[in-house]
Amino acid sequence: MVKITREHVTYALSALDEPAAVVEPGECVEFETYDCYQGKLLKEGSTFADVDRRFGNPATGPVYIKGAQPGDLLKIEIKKLELGPVGILDIGPTSGALREFFEEPVIRRLPVKDGYLLYNDSIRVPIKPMIGVIGTAPLGEPVSTKAPKDHGGNMDCTRIEEGAVLYLPVFVEGGLLSTGDFHAIMGEGEVANCGVEIEGKATLKIDVVKNTGITYPVLENREQWMTIAYGEDLDEASEKAVKQMFAFLCGQKKLSKVDAGMLIDMAGDLIVCQIVNPYKTVRLEVPKWLIARIKEENESK
């Protein structure tokens, strides 16, 4: 298995980045990552004065996948997520829906032990590890690892977790995949400021799917298909997610326009991923079983 250490770090996903490794389709790659503050807040007594905010959300990579060409998808199976021993949870006046209530930032260092986050001496919260930043290189100008776009990036989607499969469009030769910004747990919407930011390791199996025509992130787990979309506001992001799911159901799952639209209305769940970044992200989830039943009914006619 190829291992990429966090010495290979980037703060913007770019077609100009030199690959940290070159792999064959179907190989597993282990990415070692920093937390979103690059470990600067882990030391007791450290503050945001120790953090250069220009360099947030460091991502490890990129990895060049042989044979990946523009128009393809990377199929990324999240085989394993391992977390560091301490997470950072902070809240303050700079971002999120509660910033007006805080004059100064408050930082807590929360140990992770035996599958639980230790909020204090008496409260233990089960962890739900997830990947905040994962993306391919976009065309054109580099995109900060703080931002989500169609190449992925800082999507902050809680469903990007162990056992899920993420599909990301390839815009440049080799795809150039990078990842970072893990969370031990994060509430849906990341509304107040952040998740529990934590360093870790991700083992990803990366394959290439040729010529799908999909140009946006798609995610699946055992129960659902999901599209993840971004926008300057939630209205824009939501409309994109719905239209992308509609295109996915019609184009990839071969449903009629009527069936696709009615399925979305009947069983589609639109969920806010995060509101703290300048670009917002949402996802639309639809159940796999219902897609399969509609296809079976149509094929039997």
What pLDDT digit, counting tens, does each position of 43-58 carry? Answer: 999 998 888 877 789 9
If you search the block for the tokens 């930043």, which residue do you land on?
Answer: 133
CA–CA separation, 243 vs 190, rounded Å? 24
Q: For residue 88, give the amino acid letter.
A: I
CA–CA separation, 80 vs 30, rounded Å? 9
Q: State residue 55's pLDDT score.
A: 78
Q: State residue 54's pLDDT score.
A: 76
| Geometric angle at alpha carbon 103, from 99 and 109, rounded to 5° | 80
CA Rg value for the chain: 19
Contact 31, 135 (CB under 8 A): no
Q: Is the pLDDT of residue 301 over 90?
A: no
Q: State residue 299's pLDDT score.
A: 81
The sign of the dihedral angle between the CA atoms of 214, 217, 222, 224 is negative
Contact 67, 155 (CB under 8 A): no
- Percent of the chain past pLDDT 70, that is, above it, reads 100
Question: What is the mean pLDDT of the segment spanning 97-103?
Answer: 94
Question: What is the mean pLDDT of the segment spanning 257-268?
Answer: 98
**What is the token pair recorded at 105?**
């930032």
Q: Rounded to two decimals, what is the model's pTM?
A: 0.96
pLDDT band at 205 (very low <50, low <70, confident <90, very high): very high
**What is the token pair recorded at 228?**
């993840």
Task: Give the count of beta carbons closer than 10 Å to the beta carbon of residue 149.
Answer: 19
Question: What is the mean pLDDT of the segment spanning 87-105?
Answer: 94
Question: What is the mean pLDDT of the segment spanning 88-97?
Answer: 93
Q: State residue 298's pLDDT score.
A: 82
pLDDT band at 84 (very low <50, low <70, confident <90, very high): very high
Q: Is the pLDDT of residue 217 over 80?
A: yes
Mean pLDDT score of the chain: 96
Q: State residue 300's pLDDT score.
A: 78
